[in-house]
Amino acid sequence: MANTPYPQSYYAASANAVPQRPALQGEVETDICIIGAGYTGLSSALFLLENGFKVSIVEAAKVGFGASGRNGGQIVNSYSRDIDVIERSVGQQQAQLLGQMAFEGGRIIRERVATYGIDCALKDGGVFAALKPKQMDHLESQKRLWERYGHTQLELLDQKRIRDVVGCENYIGGLLDMSGGHIHPLNLALGEAAAVESLGGVIYEQSPAIRIERGANPVVHTPQGKIRSKFIIVAGNAYLGNLVPELAAKSMPCGTQVIATEPLSDELARSLLPQDYCVEDCNYLLDYYRLTEDKRLIFGGGVVYGARDPENIEAIIRPKLLKAFPQLKDVKIDYAWTGNFLLTLSRLPQVGRIGDNIYYSQGCSGHGVTYTHLAGKVLAEALRGQAERFDAFAGLPHYPFPGGQMLRVPFSALGAWYYSLRDKLGF
């Protein structure tokens, strides 16, 4: 069987040392079989192992191969739809539960890093940057909303104050969230995988799930083996394919592009991000960036609906970089890569159960770093018989994309164009 390596990203090039993990061979029995060794699968495994379950993970490629090891590395709180939108959709009681959980994922990451000594360059502080007055109005209302749910580590930044934290002339203000922050995302996943193994969990790499045999004791089949278990957690997200047809119908893989510059001088790096916070702007198709430990600027943005890999990623992202920081016009780009995330029509995660024993969480819609860590805890709670928080997510309404799988890409691209035009026109 072919060995699928990590894509050529800055993260893969700077990753901590990793052990060789075997492919699944033959038949194995366990309590819980998890499909996917990204954040959702790893977080679920850790919570389950800590509660005495026997856990095995099958991974199609390598730990953190998908979005977990390729994202912008930003700890961003809440969901891709904010809590007031959820309140209008599902009512106060369900929204209250979801609101209370909206800031938990970042805390879980920090707890994991501290408990298991994970070396992932964790830094505190994230900025939402406003380009237009309407975006600033939204940040002001978001601050009030988040504070209503007990999230208080927030500071509104006026035009003068934002210059203290971001060396970009385009912003009129922003919101600083000190419980946000940034990490080396692949090293976080690798550290969590090591923690899973330290607790007796088993991870099989290069072992794609090709079929699920449903029943009282479901079986996950891979090319060279199978795992029989009491329960399955499906955590493949954008890399699941059609393994579970019910999950493919209401979601769409999307690609996002990221570049990393050559190392910058200390002076130049400090002029861009004096406090070493991460930043994302408030546009519908947003740009996001941060510094690495070795003073590179990681810059990402844009969406490719349907998750095609663009031929020239630098050509897509470099103009966005230079619009924010024209002083980087002579800086070399050392790495350019793409990664897929899973989008839902509501932009809220899909959580649920198929039959009595197949659980799933997917569709983070761009807020995966924090949400996936929360999802692992919520899934583990449900498997322990504490389903209130699981049910709050499972009760969210979800709909198929207009046009079905055939037309979802052009329809979504048209919608994104519309909102991008609104951003440009200041609506």
**CA 403, 406, 411, 416: dihedral to nearest 10 degrees?**
140
pLDDT at 91: 81
CA 213-216-217 angle, 5° bins: 60
Same domain? For 66 and 152 the reply is: no
pLDDT value for 382:
98
Name the band, by pLDDT with cuts 50, 70 and 90, for residue 282.
very high
Looking at the structure, tell me whether residues 23 and 169 fall in a common domain: no
pLDDT of residue 117: 98
Q: What are the tens digits of pLDDT across the range 52-90?
A: 999 999 999 999 999 999 999 999 998 888 888 888 878
| Closest to 43 in 3D by CA, of 117, 121, 111 | 111
Q: Is residue 23 part of a domain?
A: yes
Residue 256: beta bridge partners?
Answer: 339
Please list the alpha-helical segments (H only) found in 69-167: 83-90, 92-101, 104-116, 133-148, 159-162
Q: Which domain holds residue 169?
A: 124-182+252-343+414-427
Please tell me whether residues 256 and 325 are part of one structural domain.
yes
Looking at the structure, do residues 272 and 379 belong to the same domain, yes or no? no
pLDDT of residue 419: 37
Q: Is residue 119 in a domain?
A: no
Q: Clarify whether residues 141 and 18 are in a common domain.
A: no
Please report whether residue 89 resides in a domain: no
Could you tell me if residue 112 is inside a domain?
Answer: no
Whether 305 and 358 share a structural domain: no
Same domain, 146 and 207: no
Question: Is residue 245 one of the residues assigned to a domain?
Answer: yes
Residue 339 maps to which CATH number?
3.30.9.10
Scan for tokens 């449903």, then name that residue. Answer: 214
285 and 165 share a domain?
Answer: yes
pLDDT of residue 2: 62
pLDDT over 90 (residue 158): yes
pLDDT confidence tier of residue 247, bands split at 50, 70 and 90? confident
Would you say residue 366 has pLDDT above 80? no
The region of weakest confidence among 101-110, 178-187, 300-309 is: 300-309
Residue 1 lies in a domain: no
SS (H, E, C) 39-71: HHHHHHHHHHHHCCCCEEEECCCCCCCCHHHCC
Site of tokens 């922003």: 174
Number of domains in the chain: 2
Tokens for 186? 């692949």
| 356 and 320 together in one domain | no
Within a domain: residue 98? no
pTM for the full predicted model = 0.93
Neighbours of 135 (CB within 10 A): 22
The answer as to whether 402 is a domain residue is no
CATH number of the domain that residue 63 is part of = 3.50.50.60
